[in-house]
């Protein structure tokens, strides 16, 4: 079992739709949870950062963490064509400094 | 504030050759991490350096090596290249001072093609 599982998609939605992206994980030591967005031919950029369980909202983006279920989500409201990218979940915890990534979900928002 | 700079952006090598990739971190960041990204495996951790010392290492063969200089700039080297080494190699920097909470800022990557 991989430490982090993420459905690779692809996911295609119409402009204005609500998008839900998810990851599950197996390592109970993970306490820090991040979502990165990666446009084609670019490096990943940090979108959301949360610690432990709970919700965090930033504009059209909401990140949720449920540590009891080992499940994290990213919601995008009123999706725009500019949101078309690969979304990567990442997590870390314990005494090391590395991030463990999901494989990423390719999202296309159609005008 | 300048971001993470990786050079070269694109390179083509043949099997058996070696390659060196360079990374300049954000000013003030002392931790540099390297990741390999492929369509099949996603982002896989190679190693992390902090103050010129390798602090973490992923599960890659010894052909993959790295180092960090006193100015925090880092290089990674891959020797005896194989076709499967074709990938996007990403460098990321961070302050690296809080274990488990290492938020990374990535460069644009070096796209390596091995023929």
Chain B residues with CB inside 8 Å of A36's CB?
106
The dihedral built from the CA positions of residue A42, A40, A48 and A77, taken in this order, carries a sign that is positive
**Backbone phi and psi for residue A81, each to the nearest 5 degrees, phi listed first:** -55, -30
Distance of CA B62 to the CA centre of its chain: 14
Which residues of B lie inside 8 Å of A (Cβ-Cβ)? 4, 31, 33, 35, 41-43, 45, 48, 50, 55-56, 58, 90, 92, 94, 96, 99-109
Q: Residue written as tokens 């400094």? A: A97
The pLDDT tens digits for B6-53 are: 999 999 999 999 999 999 999 999 999 999 999 889 999 999 999 999
The pLDDT tens digits for A78-96 are: 999 999 999 999 999 877 7
Chain B residues with CB inside 8 Å of A103's CB?
41-43
Q: Give, as one character, the DSSP assignment of residue A40.
A: T
- On the question of pLDDT at B90 being above 90, the answer is yes
Q: What is the largest CA-CA distance in chain B?
A: 40
Interface check for A94 against chain B (CB to CB < 8 A): the answer is: yes
- B102: nearest CB among A42, A44, A97: A97
Distance of CA A65 to the CA centre of its chain: 10
How confident is the prediction along chain A (111 residues), in pLDDT tens digits per residue? 789 999 888 999 999 999 999 999 999 989 999 999 999 989 999 999 998 888 999 999 999 999 999 999 999 999 999 999 999 999 998 777 789 999 999 999 999
A69 min Cα distance to partner chain B (Å):
20
């Amino acid at each position: 079992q991989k430490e982090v599982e993420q459905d690779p998609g692809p996911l295609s939605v119409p402009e204005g739709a609500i998008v839900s992206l998810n990851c599950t994980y197996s390592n109970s030591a993970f306490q820090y949870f991040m979502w990165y967005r990666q446009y084609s031919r670019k490096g990943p950029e940090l979108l959301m950062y949360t610690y432990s369980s709970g919700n965090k909202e930033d504009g059209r983006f909401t990140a949720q963490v449920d540590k009891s279920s080992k499940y994290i989500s990213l919601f995008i409201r009123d999706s725009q064509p500019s949101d078309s990218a690969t979304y990567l979940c990442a997590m870390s915890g314990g005494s090391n400094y590395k991030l463990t990534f999901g494989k990423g979900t390719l999202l296309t928002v159609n005008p | 504030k300048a971001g993470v700079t990786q050079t070269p952006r694109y390179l083509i090598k043949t099997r058996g050759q070696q390659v060196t990739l360079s990374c300049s971190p954000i000013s003030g960041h002392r931790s540099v991490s390297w990741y390999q990204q492929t369509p099949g495996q996603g982002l896989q951790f190679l190693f992390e350096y902090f103050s010129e010392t390798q602090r973490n290492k992923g599960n890659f063969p010894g052909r993959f090596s790295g180092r960090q200089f006193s100015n925090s700039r880092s290089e990674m080297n891959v020797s005896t290249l194989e076709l499967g080494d074709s990938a996007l190699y990403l460098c990321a920097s961070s302050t690296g001072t809080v274990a488990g909470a290492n938020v990374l800022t990535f460069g644009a990557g070096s796209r390596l093609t091995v023929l």
